[in-house]
Chains A and B, each alone.
Chain A
């Protein structure tokens, strides 16, 4: 008995989860290469004791990554790249794992390797680091990811990959996605992804959408609370009436 308040509670709990995910999207509205996260809700059906007595609870079944591309913003920095197309860049994290992401704000570290802002090494097609010698001058990065020095000497080629299983990857933060424990990445060389030098990909979070979601979440939460309140009043009323009769 008393499933009503639990149904309302399941909605309230789901809305709180949704709020957290939305808050994170909004907080990252200015994070380059960021991909928004979405929560998926499912109904969980519980059959009651009598036939026809069916109750649907809300459960948060999972969250998925919104993979739409963000807008390209021109920065003029030769070490900034953006990807035009569905491909991914590969990085080596500090703990040696291969991660994928679309953050193209590169710099060189003290060893002359291309790294991201947080120090993750950018990998070439073969999975090796990309070294830029100090005398390379202003480097050029071609559409296919080929890095060449100012004098036109090719240095390396930035690895571009298609990662079909990206939705099942774990998010590490720092714009990185890694395969879940023990799984293989399944990354293959990208088809139809071009590199744009001197630009970065903005976050794909759409502020208006997130704002309306905030409103939706709040109203749904209030609704859940209202159901609880109504249920509480019903119960109180019932107790009062039954109490008077006996």
Chain B
């Protein structure tokens, strides 16, 4: 009975759905986290009789066929790349991107990763690093005796050293944009990696057209909408139950058939 297999694909899909939703809820308070959504599509169809098949020599054709679908599949998880809310932290090294773009993180293995999490800290050498201690491109080093750090909307980092009223310009934070942000692969720790689907990074500066600006003293909240997630969770559970009902029906029908004699 195909119905058993079809319902099984439905249950599997809803399991994936619950996995994705629970990860969203778990990360509701993660800085820069973007909600994901499992995207489902119907599987292929078994054309039991084809539409358009000739029904007479005069060329009349079947207006409709019999298409039996074989279930559902998870076509992908789509990241919702909308802006998260900004919350003020009053920490001069907390940065948020208001608009499109990613901070570029130089990974210890020499590769580059991308993040929306701008909670930066200073390393022992005075370099601007992420919370994992990875340097943030282009590797800005804060001089000793710095009293205050100013980072403007364009990402230019300036330091007020000692009592000098004129700030020292230390460099400009690189932002990266992508043709297809959705193609970036999440690798945990708030980091994303470029893939063939996302295309290579396009270096940009904060404040360019189509690129966001940097807000010092703010962090970007996750864009998880908890109410939405909970309602999705309810829908997923009900859908799971309905599929199990299909299995039950198919099972009972088979048992009716075996009990026939």
Q: How many residues of B contact A (CB 8 A)?
A: 77
Within 8 Å by CB of B210, from A17, A134, A182, lies A134
Judge whether A47 is part of the interface by a CB distance below 8 angstroms: no
**Contact yes or no, A31 B40, CB < 8 A:** yes
Q: Give the secondary structure class of B's interface.
A: mixed
Q: Which residues of chain A from 47 to 101 have any CB-CB distance to chain B below 8 Å in the complex?
A: 60, 62-64, 75-79
Q: Let me know if A171 and B40 touch, CB within 8 A.
A: no
Interface pair A24/B180, CB less than 8 Å apart: no
B239 adjacent to A30 (CB under 8 Å)? yes
Q: Does B217 contact A (CB under 8 A)?
A: no
What is the interface size of chain A, counting residues whose CB is below 8 A from a CB of the partner? 75
Residues in A lying within 8 Å of B, measured CB to CB: 12, 15-17, 19-32, 34, 37, 39-40, 60, 62-64, 75-79, 103, 105, 107-112, 117-118, 134-138, 149-151, 167-175, 180-183, 207, 210-211, 214-215, 217-218, 221-222, 225, 228-229, 232
A232 to B260 alpha-carbon distance, docked (Å): 10
Among residues 133 to 189 in chain B, which have CB atoms less than 8 Å away from a CB atom of chain A? 177-180, 182-183
Q: Which residues of A contact B124 (CB under 8 A)?
A: none
Which chain B residues border A103 with CB–CB below 8 Å? 41
Interface centre among B13, B61, B180, B236 (most CB of A within 10 A): B180
User: Does B6 lie at the interface of the complex (its beta carbon under 8 Å from any beta carbon of A)?
Assistant: yes
Secondary structure at the A interface, as helix, strand, loop or mixed, is mixed
A111 and B183 CA atoms in complex are apart in Å by 11
Residues of A within 8 A of B50 (CB): 170, 180
Expressed in whole angstroms, the minimum distance between the Cβ of A165 and any Cβ of chain B is 9
Contact call A207/B242, Cβ cutoff below 8 A: yes
Q: Is the CB of B180 within 8 A of A112?
A: yes
In the complex, which residues of chain A have a beta carbon less than 8 angstroms from the beta carbon of B26?
none
Question: A171-B45, A173-B43 known; A31 and B180 CB under 8 Å?
Answer: no
* Distance A79 CA – B242 CA, assembled complex (angstroms): 30
Tell me whether A136 and B41 are in contact (CB under 8 A).
no
Q: Is the CB of B252 within 8 A of A218?
A: yes
Interface of chain B residues 202 through 225 with chain A (CB within 8 A): 202, 208-211, 225
B106 contacts chain A at the CB level, 8 A cutoff:
no
Q: Would you give the shortest CB distance from B15 to chain A, in whole angstroms?
A: 12
A15, A26, A75, A150: the one contacting B7 at CB < 8 Å is: A26
With beta carbons under 8 angstroms apart, the residue of B14, B68, B182 that contacts A17 is B68
**Among B51, B76, B253, which residue has its beta carbon within 8 angstroms of that of A168?**
B51
Is there contact, CB below 8 Å, between B42 and A34? yes
**B68 close to A20 (CB less than 8 A):** yes
